[in-house]
Amino acid sequence: MSTATGTTPDTGLDATLLNRVTAAVRTASELLRQRHTPQARGVALDEIVTEIHANDDAVLDVLKAPLMAARPGARWAEDELEGGALPPGEWWIVDPAEGNINHVHGMDDWAVTATLVRDNHPVLTVVHLPLTGDWYTAVAGQGAHLNGAPLRVSAKTDLGAALVGTGQARPGEDERTFRRIGASVTQMLIHGLVVRVSVPATLQLIQVAAGRMDAFWQFSDVRSGLVAGALLVAEAGGTVTDTGGNPWDLAGRDFLATAPGIHAAAVAVLSSRA
């Protein structure tokens, strides 16, 4: 197993647990799919926020209880927009509508994610895209899969040929973070091939895990947007660090996931913009 997320194989993370998590996410995903409309919902900010909270509440009503029952003793990380390290032990980090802002605007790029984290390292994850029916799953030491088929990151070795991406983690980040994002995009536009700037993070990280994109970085520590993709990329053979190239866990202040062949070049570009 890659040491990128600090995980090691665990026989307690078996197919039975993965199946239970998948079943819970399937029920939640179907509910979120039914709530989706092809047009935007809400005009004023308070209307948009109300729609976002309604999505979260509806999904959590059917998702939280089965996940807690599937892993007795694990705790629940309540605020999906929080970052930083958690106390020792196992935690469920869930995003009931990853890409919620896209969902309420009638767009297609959103998902339901559920990730089990142990001692600040993700060890099992399920990501479901309800509109396509695609399932991205990973278990520490057991690889990453798309609809049951193994995933493998890109074989790129030249940053100049790389498709890379970033985006903001939450509304209302501080101005310094926004300036770092802008400066890093400029540098990647110079040194890379194409840069995507979009949300949510997980929808870009699954592309890195599948070898369709070559790198993703973010100047934030929002847990729910990173843990699923971090495990998927690492289990698909990728490299997961902070933007300075140091080992990443939930205590990290920023994040980088890449194909191994371009990691050093990406670190060189991003660490120069710290």
Q: Note the pLDDT of residue 193.
A: 98
pLDDT band for position 82 (cuts 50, 70, 90)? confident
Each residue's pLDDT tens digit, 140-197: 999 999 999 999 999 999 999 999 999 998 888 889 899 999 999 999 999 999 999 9
pLDDT band for position 273 (cuts 50, 70, 90)? low
Each residue's pLDDT tens digit, 118-135: 999 999 999 999 999 999
pLDDT band for position 14 (cuts 50, 70, 90)? confident
Whether the predicted pLDDT of 4 surpasses 80: no
How many Å apart are CA 89 and CA 84, to the nearest integer?
15
Whether the predicted pLDDT of 6 surpasses 70: no
Whether the predicted pLDDT of 1 surpasses 60: no
pTM here is 0.94
What is the percent of the chain with per-residue pLDDT over 70, rounded to a whole number? 95
Whether the predicted pLDDT of 11 surpasses 80: no
Each residue's pLDDT tens digit, 211-244: 999 999 999 888 999 999 999 999 999 999 999 9
Neighbours of 193 (CB within 10 A): 15
How does the average pLDDT of the chain come out, rounded? 93
HEC string of 40-102 equals: CCCCCHHHHHHHHHHHHHHHHHHHHHHHHHHCCCCEECCCCCCECCCCCCEEEEEEEEECHHH
Each residue's pLDDT tens digit, 31-44: 999 999 999 999 99
